[in-house]
Amino acid sequence: MSEPSRTNSSEAIRVEALFRALRTVSADLEIGELIRATLHAATSLFHTRQASAWVRTAGKLALQLTGTEGLEEPLVDGIELVGRSGGLVEMTALAADKPMVIDCGARADGLVDVYAASGIEQVLVLPLVVRGEVVGAILLYSAAGRMWLDADRELGALFARQLGSVVSGALLLADARSDTARLRAVQELSWRLNRIQGVNAIGEAIVAEADKLIAHDTIRVYRVDAANAMCEPIAFQGEFLGIGRPSVEQLRVPMGKGITGWVAEHNQAVRLADARSDSRGRQVGDRRGAESMLVVPMAWESRVLGVIVVSRDGYDHFSDGDQRMLEVFAGYAAQSLVGADAFAELERQRLELANRLERQHRLLEISEQLLATLEPASVLEKIADSLGALVAFDSLAIFRLDHAAGVRRAIVVRDPEAAAILAHMPAINAGINGWAIANGQAVLANDAQNDPRAIQIPGTPVVPESLIVCPLVADGLTVGTLNVARIGKDRQRFSPDEFELARLFATQASIAMRNAEAHDAVMVAAEHDPLTGLRNRGSFERDLASAVGRSQPFALLELDLDHFKAFNDPPLGLGHAAGDALLKRVAAALQETVRGSDLVYRAGGDEFWLIVPGASRTIAEEITGRIKTAVLRAGVADAPVVTASVGIAVFPDEASTPTDLAARADEAMYAAKASKA
C-alpha cells in the first residue's frame, strides 16, 4: 500500500507547485512578462527544457507565436513559418477543449525532419480556453525517451484552465493600452495631415507614419480618380518578391478590379488572413507564402477618395483592433484629402485668375501695339505674331472675304501647308468658316476633323485638330476670319478661357485692321492726285529727297504738255471735261511706258515728273522718246494736237541736290518747249 501513497504524495506536491506557479504568473498582467513567467513556470512544473506560448490577439483568426524557451533557432523558424500559413499541426488540433499529445514522427505539416533534428519526439498541447473560446496555447516539448503521461495531461488541463483567464485579462489590458496609445498617435497624425496641402504629400505622410499605428511589411496609398475609374498610387513603401520596388504602372488598379479596386468601388474595408485565398485578388510579385492584408477606404460623405493597403508576410497578422484603428486614421486622412482638394481648387482658381488677368493685360498691350500699326500689311503680320503670346497654336490663317467673287482668300498663313492653304479659295459659306461667317459667331471645335461642317483643304493631310474660328468684323460687316489650330493626336485642346481670349483678340484685330485700312485710304488720298491717281507734288518732293539720300544714280524727268490750253479752251478746245479725260489718258500712258521701278507724279495742271532709278542720260533720252510717242497717241481726233516737252537731269553727274536737280530738269524742259515755238 505504500506505492499509491507515494504517488498521491507526488501528485499533491505537483499540484501545490502548480498553484504556486499560477500565483507567481498572475502577479504581472503585462502580456510580455506574463508569457515569460508562464514559460518558465511550465518548464519547471513539467520537467522539460523546451516550451512555446501562442496567443490570439483581439480580432485575429489564428494564434500567434509570442514566446519560446529552450527551443533551438531552426525549430523556432520552422514552426513560426508554418504557423504563419495556418498549417501547424498543433494549431489545427485546438478545437477540443482538452490537452493533447502530438507524435512528431507522424506530423503532416512538413516539420518531421526539423523536430527529429532537435531530438523532440512528442508535443503536449495545452489549450487556454475562456468561456468556450481558445485564447492561446502552451506547447511543451519532450526530449528523446520522454513520453507525456496521462498525469501530465491532467495537470496540464488544470494549469491551462487557470492560466486562460489570466492570459485573457492580460490581452484585454494590452489591447486597451494599445488602443489608447494608437488613438493618441492617430490624433497626432491627423493634426499633421491637416497641415499638409498636397495630395501626394499626404500620401507620403501616411506611408511615413503608418508604422506607428500598425505593423506591416508593405503599405500602398491610392488616390481614386473617379473620372477615369482608376486607383492611382500616390505613395508606397516595401518590396514584392521577384519585383523589389514596383513601378506606378504595376500598382495602378482599375476601379472594381482586385481587392483594392473592390474596396474603392464598394466603400467597405477588407481584412484577409491570407490574400491568396480571396478570388478578388490581383497578384503583384512572385509570392508563394501566406500574406495578411488589410485594405481600408478613405471616404468622405460616402464618396471614396482613396484607399490604404497594408500587408504583412504570414497568416492572419491583422486584428479587429488594427482594422478599427486604420479605419479611424483613414477617416482623418480623407478629411485631409478633402482639404487638399479644396486648397488645390482654390490654388487652381487663383492661378487661373492670375493667368487670365495677365493674358488680358497682355491683350491690352498687344491691342495698343496693333492700333498703333497703321500700315495694312504690317498690321496683319503683327496680328499673326501677337496672338501666339496669348494662345499657343500650331497653325494660323487670316482670310479675307471677296464678296464680288463669292470666295474667301488666305492672306496670311503660318502653317507647314501654307502653299496649299494660300492656293485654296473656297466659297464664303463653305466649312466651319462659312458657318462662323453666316452666324456671326466664333466657333470652338476641339475635334474639327470630325465636325460635320468641316471641309478638307486639297493637298493637306487629315489629322486630329483643335480649331478656333473668329469672324473679323468691320463696321458691322464680316470682312474675314481669324483661324488658329492645334494639330496632332497629342495636341492640347483649347480651353474655354483660350477661346474667349481668341475672341477678344479677334475683336481688337478687326478694329486694328479697319483703322489701318482707313489710315491707308487717307494716306493714299493725301499722297495721290485725285484726278489721275498718280502721286502728287508732296510725294514727289519727299521721294526726290529720299532718292538723293540713297546716293544711287537716277534720272529726273520733267514733262509739260504742249498746246494743252488750246485743247481745253474755246473756241477750238473741247472743254475742261475733255481736258481732264486727256490728263487721265496721259497718266495711264506714262505708267504703261515706264518700268515697274520708275515713279510717276502729277505736279499740277499739265506738269508731270518721273524718277527713273539707275538711269543714265542715254537711258533717260530713250524713255523720253517713248513718252512723247505715248502722249501723242493719247490725243483726240478733230482736236488740237497735244505733244510733250521733256527736260532731263541726271544724279549725281549733273546735279547733287534735290533743288539743283529740279532746277536743271525744269530749265531743260523749257528749253525743249522754246525750241518748238
How far is it, in rounded angstroms, from Cα 546 to Cα 524? 19
Q: What is the per-residue pLDDT for 368?
A: 61
Query: Phi, psi at residue 406, to the nearest 5°?
Result: 75, 25
116-130, 337-351, 470-484: the lowest-pLDDT one: 337-351
pLDDT above 90 (res 624)? yes
pLDDT above 90 (res 493)? yes
Question: Do the domains spanning 2-177 and 537-676 agree at the CATH topology level?
Answer: no
Each residue's pLDDT tens digit, 578-605: 889 999 999 999 999 988 889 999 988 8
State mean pLDDT over 638-642: 83
State mean pLDDT over 322-337: 81
How far is it, in rounded angstroms, from Cα 90 to Cα 109? 10
State mean pLDDT over 300-316: 87
Each residue's pLDDT tens digit, 432-464: 999 999 999 999 999 999 999 999 999 899 999
Contacts 24+ apart (CB under 8 A), 149-152: 151/11, 152/46, 152/99, 152/124
CATH architecture, domain 376-519? 2-Layer Sandwich (3.30)
Fold of 537-676: Alpha-Beta Plaits (3.30.70)
Contacts 24+ apart (CB under 8 A), 598-602: 598/623, 599/535, 599/543, 600/534, 600/535, 601/534, 601/535, 601/536, 601/537, 601/539, 601/540, 601/543, 602/529, 602/531, 602/532, 602/534, 602/535, 602/536, 602/537
Q: Are 430 and 452 in contact (CB under 8 A)?
A: no
Q: How is the chain split into domains, by residue range?
A: 2-177, 194-343, 376-519, 537-676
Cell numbers at 562, concatenated: 504742249
pLDDT above 50 (res 1)? no
252-256, 292-296, 409-413, 422-426: the lowest-pLDDT one: 409-413
SS3 96: coil
Fold of 2-177: Beta-Lactamase (3.30.450)
Q: What is the per-residue pLDDT for 57?
A: 65
pLDDT above 90 (res 65)? no
CATH of domain 194-343: 3.30.450.40
Torsion of CA 201, 202, 203, 207, to 10 degrees: 100
List, as one string, the DSSP characters of 316-360.
----HHHHHHHHHHHHHHHHHHHHHHHHHHHHHHHHHHHHHHHHH
Query: How do 218-225 and 230-237 pair as beta strands?
Result: antiparallel
pTM over cut 0.85? no
Angle between helices 376-387 and 496-527 (to 10 degrees): 160
Type of residue found at 318: F
Match 492645334 to its residue by C-alpha cell: 486
